[in-house]
Amino acid sequence: MENEHSELIIGYLQGRLQGRSLDDFYAWVNESADNKKLFFETKA
């Protein structure tokens, strides 16, 4: 599952998520504080 989240983060940062994948990304980020932290650490 962690690899899937990495793919979502990378896809989002590269601007290539659309539709369901983008929805999945937003759902994952908003699921927990740890997910938000991981995303913002990866983004930085």
Q: Which long-range contacts (CB under 8 A, 24 or more apart) does 16-19 make?
A: none
State the pLDDT confidence band at 1, using cuts at 50, 70 and 90: low
Who wins on pLDDT, 35 or 4?
A: 35
Please tell me the pTM assigned to this model: 0.84
Count of other CB atoms within 10 angstroms of residue 8: 20
Of the candidates 24, 32, 30, 33, which has an alpha carbon nearest to the alpha carbon of residue 6?
24
Count of other CB atoms within 10 angstroms of residue 12: 19
Tens of pLDDT, residues 13-39: 999 999 999 999 999 999 999 999 999
Q: How many CA atoms lie within 13 A of 33 on its CB side?
A: 0
